[in-house]
Amino acid sequence: MKKKILIISGGISKERKISLDTGIQVANELKKNNFKVKICEPDSDLIKIVSKFKPKIIFNALHGQFGEDGYIQTILENIGIPYTHSGVIASAQAMDKEISKKIFIKNKILTPKYFKYSFDKSNLELKKIIKKKFGFPVVIKPINEGSSVNVFICNQSNLKKNINLLKFYKHILIEQFIPGREIQAAIIGKNKLGAIELIPKRKFYDYQAKYNSKAKTKHIIPVDLLKEKYNQLMNISLKAHNLLKCRGVTRSDFKFFKNKFYLLEINTQPGMTKLSLVPEISAYRGINFINLIKLILKDASINK
C-alpha cells in the first residue's frame, strides 16, 4: 500500500506563492516515488480532509505568518498526526525575530545589535537614537515575516520613506547593518547538512533575489572558508537549531564580516523550490531531492 502524505500549502501570508511552489514540487517528487499525495489549503476544510484522507504524515509546506509561527503547528498538534518541521514553541520563537535574537544573545551567539521601534518618535528623534546606538546604515524589518518580506536597508535620507512603508505593523526591528559575505547553513534533525554562499546582484539577498531567477544571485558551493571557520559556522547553526528546539530542516542566515559570523535569523520552513538553498546544499552532499524529502518525513515520524 502506498504511504499517504498530505501536503499543506498556500495559506494567506505574503509568501503564499512560494508555499504553493514548494507544495507542488514536493508533491510531484513524492508521486514519482510511489507515494499517495494530496495537497490542501490550511482552511476550515483541513480537519475534514485529514479525517477522510487519513495521511501517515502531514508535510507542512507553508511559509510566513500562520504557517511557520506556531499557529498551524498548534492545529496539527491537536489533530495528532506527525507533521514535518518544527513544533509550536520552536516555530513561534524562530519567527519572532526579537525573541530569537534575545535567545542568541543570552547564549553568546553573535547577532547584529538592534532595538524594537513602535513608530512613537519623530524622524529626527529616531535618527539621533540610531546614531547613538550603532549608526547608519541600518536594516529595518518586520518582527514576524519571512523571506525578507518588507526588509529595507536604510541610510539617513531614505529612512523616513521606508519606515512609512511599514507603518501597518505594530512594531518593527531596527538593526545594525553588517556588511560582508552572505552565507547560509542548513541543519536537518541533529545533523549538519552544509552551507552555501550567496552573491546577490541586488543590495542584499532580499525576496526578489531569493525567488526571481532574473535577479541572478550567484550561488557558491562549497563555501570558500578555512576548515576551522567552516566548522565554527556549522556549530553555531546546530547550536541555534538546538537552542530553539527545532526539528526537521532549518536554514540559518549569516553575515561573515571581519572573520566573525553574525547570525541574522533562523528559518524553520526553508523553501523547496527550484531556487531554494536547502535542496541545493543537499544535492551537493549527494542527497537528491526525494531523499531529502524522505529525511524530512523520517524526522517527523521519529519526533512524534
Residue positions annotated with a catalytic role:
15, 147, 211, 251, 253, 265, 267, 271
Burial of residue 183 (CB within 10 Å: 0-12, 13-18, 19+) is: buried
Q: Which residues pair with 186 in a beta bridge?
A: 194, 251
Beta-bridged to residue 187, according to DSSP, are: 192, 250
Whether cis (ω within 30° of 0) applies to the bond prior to 82 is no
Contact 257, 19 (CB under 8 A): no
Q: Which three cell numbers stand for residue 146?
A: 519571512
User: What values do phi and psi take at 61, rounded to 5?
Assistant: -105, 15
Q: Which of 57, 60, 45 is nearest to 13 (CA)?
A: 60
Residue 224 identity: D
Residue 194 β-bridge partners? 186
In this structure, are strands 114-117 and 36-40 parallel, antiparallel, or unpaired?
Answer: unpaired
Residue 34 zone, left/alpha/beta (φ > 0; ψ -120 to 50; rest): left
Per residue in 210-235, is it b (16+ CB within 10 Å) or e — as a string? Answer: bbeeebebeeebebebeeebbeebbe
Specify the pairing of strand 36-40 against strand 138-142: unpaired
Q: Who's near 249: CB < 8 A, 6+ residues apart?
A: 85, 186, 187, 188, 193, 270, 278, 296
